[in-house]
Structure 1
């Protein structure tokens, strides 16, 4: 008889994170629908609202995404009037992303919609901070583990 204790699905932290992620994606899908934004586009826009202009490489570093994943996302944002992309004057290999005036105007509307939806969770500021801190700790420990595996 094996000595290994069976692992139950409901006891798996990874499954809880996965399940919560799916629910958050649905939550944001509904919240962002009026703006025709997907969740990946939204997090790109959050980063750009905070730091633009950015190169594709810089945006990828913030979001932990490679240019192959970012390029189609950025093309869609550009075609919907959220951003512009242009070659850097100092280095033509670098693509610079800038916000359109329309994107700057819509920022507060997007924030208000997402913030209003977030209230649905009913988390106190302390609960939200505790969740954020726990997720940050998990990320850091996974980063350390992955670094030791290289």
Structure 2
């Protein structure tokens, strides 16, 4: 157990780490709510260093979501670094995306599920058209 009586938490740093992890995984706050039950406002407050120290359930939800060891989120709040559950799995580095791709990804992240389904269908159609054109060459 983390004994925090003598430690100062760093909500701003913790919020940045949580937001970075969420976005790196391509998750919206709504998807996080679906997966681990954290309310959108709770996530907003954590990511923007509002509301003080998160509750134990909030720390646990982030550990489950990100695959961190038990008490890793609290340790991170108090200045440590998160520890992955499986240290034998090395995450692949995330390549730097061109600005146009980042812009598109940002816009896609704002869409709801039906709109995303339409975008997916359009991309599938574009792939089929490209395949058809390549066969005709």
Determine if the TM-score, normalized by the shorter chain, exceeds 0.5: no
Name the one with the larger strand percent: 1
More helix by share: 1
Which category describes the TM-score, using the shorter chain as reference length?
A: under 0.3
Q: TM-score, with normalisation over the residues of structure 2?
A: 0.27
Structure with more contact order per residue of length (Cα contacts < 8 Å, sep ≥ 6): 2
